[in-house]
Amino acid sequence: MIYALLILLISGEAFGGHATILLYHRFGDDRYPTTSVSMEDFEKQMRYLKENGYRVVRLKEIVRLVKEGRDIPEKTVAITIDDGYRSTMKAYEVLKRFGFPFTVFLYMEAVDRYPDFLTLEQIRDMESSGLVDFENHSYSHRAFGLMRDEKAFLEDLERSERRFQKIFGRRPTLYALPFGFYNRKILSILRERGYEAILTQDPGNVGPHTDTHRMPRQAIVGSWSRMENFKKKLVREPLPLKKLYPNYGFLKENPPPFIGGELSFPRRYRSCRIYVTELGWRRAERKGGLVYVNGTPELKRRWNRIGVKCRNVESGRWAESFWMIIVR
């Protein structure tokens, strides 16, 4: 074991811990079971973090560590909530009790206007606690990542920023993609406008090699909000990949020649598998650092998530990386 560790250090393949960015939407809302978590489960999850030595930090701290190339301490967690539903206030009472900071990504058209969303009074109440950061989740919450209309996305972005500025007196610095959908042009626009990080809904955890403009999050919603699954998500490692096949965004060939990824540190991993949303998991073939599957059929879904999962030979844990492709 010591010899193997020395080899990894000499080759530059050793890297620090990872962080988990948890993603929630609704709380204790039986009307929407697929996007809600029960308050009982949510309380259990927060207690689990507290009692098991997890560092619950602001999302901006994780972004800063990655951007500065610093090691991420083990058991680091950030809590994010998308949309700004009024049930966020239920979560706020729990998080305030535990003293946990969190980030709310606001659907800017809806807040203080639609009945099911946070009012400005509630937003100010949360702000006063010093625990909550508010950031941008678009103006109209449309599936821009599936569209080729860059003008519509840019117009929506500008509207969301104007309303955000009016409410908070500053520009947002983080952006959570509506529905988690993205393409290369949308990410480029957000980078050019100065966003420090872009948050997806690709499952996975964050390591030193994570792209801050395509950060994964672990969704804790519906059937995925059970405690057994919650614990598994915390210990999954990020899988660093040099190249993605096919790359994220609009698909150039359908079916693609093959599907997979090139491992950044191939000696670290074994037992790799490939996932495609409409095909499920398949055992991967391997040539050096390349893990892949051949012979996939033409993809029919409008969008698919591709994933690569491998076993880390040192830690014994599964490591994974996911990205999104869109059929033209």
What CATH number is associated with residue 288? 2.60.40.1220
Residues 218 and 261 in one domain: no
**Does residue 10 form part of some domain?**
no
pLDDT surpasses 70 at 128: yes
**Does residue 3 form part of some domain?**
no
Is 175 in contact with 136 (CB distance < 8 Å)? yes
Is 45 in contact with 67 (CB distance < 8 Å)? no
Q: What's the pLDDT band for 328 if we cut at 50, 70, 90?
A: confident
Q: What's the pLDDT band for 16 if we cut at 50, 70, 90?
A: low
Residues 61 and 201 in one domain: yes
**Beta strand spans in the chain (E):** 19-24, 26-27, 36-37, 55-56, 76-83, 102-106, 132-136, 174-176, 197-199, 218-219, 237-238, 241-245, 249-250, 258-263, 269-276, 280-283, 285-287, 290-294, 303-312, 318-326
pLDDT in tens, 261-310: 999 999 999 999 999 999 999 999 999 999 999 999 999 999 999 999 99
Is 319 in contact with 293 (CB distance < 8 Å)? no
Is 168 in contact with 134 (CB distance < 8 Å)? yes
* pLDDT above 70: percentage of residues in the chain: 95
Is 276 in contact with 306 (CB distance < 8 Å)? yes
- pLDDT, residue 57, reads 98
Residues 56 and 203 in one domain: yes
Tell me how many domains the chain contains: 2
Please state the rounded mean pLDDT for residues 28-43.
97
pLDDT in tens, 224-252: 899 999 999 999 999 999 999 999 999 99
Residues 173 and 45 in one domain: yes
- Averaged pLDDT of the chain: 94
pLDDT surpasses 70 at 6: no
pLDDT in tens, 188-204: 999 999 999 999 999 99
Q: What's the pLDDT band for 313 if we cut at 50, 70, 90?
A: very high
pLDDT surpasses 50 at 9: no
Residues 182 and 220 in one domain: yes
Residues 220 and 161 in one domain: yes
pLDDT surpasses 90 at 210: yes
pLDDT surpasses 60 at 7: no
pTM, two decimals, is 0.94
- pLDDT, residue 253, reads 95
**Does residue 4 form part of some domain?**
no
What CATH number is associated with residue 56? 3.20.20.370
Residues 321 and 195 in one domain: no
Domain membership of residue 285 as a residue range: 241-326
pLDDT surpasses 50 at 2: no
- pLDDT, residue 149, reads 87
